[in-house]
């Protein structure tokens, strides 16, 4: 599943530069120009990684980072700043940032740091489980009641996302974006087909439930 990155940056020129560069490198990218807009994106789309500017209007990056951790956002946060002081770096890391990059920066260094953060995230999440379903992330294998479930790549990606955020309602738009990318058609029935196949392969009792008019939820 392609990593989804949220860039919280009020400088429109830099935000556009990051959007174009990261998209070209294969990431799915969303832009928010304030901490408040960024929080809405996190709640709606659950990005895999956040690039967060320190100097934002209204709510600064330190406060925004702390708020994200208080709201139980567990993904990596890379903080950007034009201020290269030890105090600023300490404040950012103490607020919950995983890494720190000073402007101006080389784009290749940014990419290297993103890859390292995403690798670390993957290593920390070696297994996902809910009820009697277990997924081995490293081996890309799924099990229910110790029986191997043979899944396609898209079915696997869908199951991993649902296991990462169980007992939460996910909209059709979000799920389609997670498995098909930003340009997927939300009116397509492709999601329903994959959910149907995944339910069939997971067997009884059903754990993926339809929330009519909204989307799907993984729950007992």
Averaged in consecutive runs of 10 residues, what is the pLDDT profile of the chain (220 residues)? 88 96 91 96 90 94 95 92 81 92 94 92 76 88 93 94 91 86 72 95 95 93
pLDDT of residue 5: 95
CB of 137 closer than 8 Å to CB of 125: yes
- 77: domain CATH number? 3.40.50.2300
Alpha helices in 46-106 (DSSP H): 61-70, 86-95
Do 176 and 112 reside in the same domain of the chain?
no
Do 87 and 142 reside in the same domain of the chain?
no
Do 178 and 92 reside in the same domain of the chain?
no
Token output for 9: 């940056």
- 192: domain CATH number? 1.10.10.10
pLDDT of residue 40: 94
pLDDT of residue 182: 63
Do 117 and 178 reside in the same domain of the chain?
no
CB atoms within 10 A of CB 78: 21
CA 4/CA 65 separation, integer angstroms: 18
Single out the residue in 109, 124, 139 at which a domain terminates: 124
Per-residue pLDDT of 136-171, as tens digits, reads 887 889 999 989 999 999 999 999 999 988 999 999
Q: Which structural domain, as residue segments, surrounds residue 188?
A: 127-218
CA 204/CA 181 separation, integer angstroms: 30
Single out the residue in 124, 140, 174 at which a domain terminates: 124
Do 68 and 115 reside in the same domain of the chain?
yes
Residues of the chain with pLDDT > 90, as a percent, come to: 69
pLDDT of residue 125: 64
Do 115 and 132 reside in the same domain of the chain?
no
pLDDT of residue 192: 92
Do 118 and 133 reside in the same domain of the chain?
no
Residues in the chain: 220
Q: Angle of helix 172-180 relative to helix 190-202, nearest 10 degrees?
A: 90
Single out the residue in 79, 95, 124 at which a domain terminates: 124
CA 170/CA 179 separation, integer angstroms: 13
Do 108 and 149 reside in the same domain of the chain?
no
pLDDT of residue 70: 93
For the chain, the domain total comes to 2
């Amino acid at each position: 599943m392609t990593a989804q990155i949220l860039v919280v940056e009020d400088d429109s020129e830099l935000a556009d530069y990051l959007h174009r560069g990261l998209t070209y490198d294969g990431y799915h990218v969303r832009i928010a120009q304030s901490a408040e807009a960024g929080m809405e994106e996190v709640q709606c789309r659950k990005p895999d990684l956040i690039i967060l500017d320190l100097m934002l209007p209204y709510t600064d990056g330190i406060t925004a980072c702390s708020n994200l951790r208080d709201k139980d956002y567990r993904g990596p946060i890379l903080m950007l700043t034009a201020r290269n002081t030890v105090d600023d770096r300490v404040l950012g890391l103490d607020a919950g940032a995983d890494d720190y990059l000073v402007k101006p920066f080389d784009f290749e260094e940014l990419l290297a740091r993103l890859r390292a953060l995403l690798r670390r995230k993957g290593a920390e999440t070696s297994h996902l489980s809910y009820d009697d379903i277990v997924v081995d992330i490293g081996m890309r294998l799924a099990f229910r009641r110790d029986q191997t479930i043979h899944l396609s790549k898209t079915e696997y990606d869908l199951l991993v996302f649902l296991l990462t955020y169980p007992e939460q309602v996910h909209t059709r738009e979000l799920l389609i974006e997670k498995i098909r990318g930003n340009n997927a058609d939300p009116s397509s029935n492709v999601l329903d087909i994959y959910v149907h196949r995944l339910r069939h392969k997971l067997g009884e009792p059903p754990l993926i439930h339809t929330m009519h008019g909204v989307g799907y939820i993984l729950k007992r």
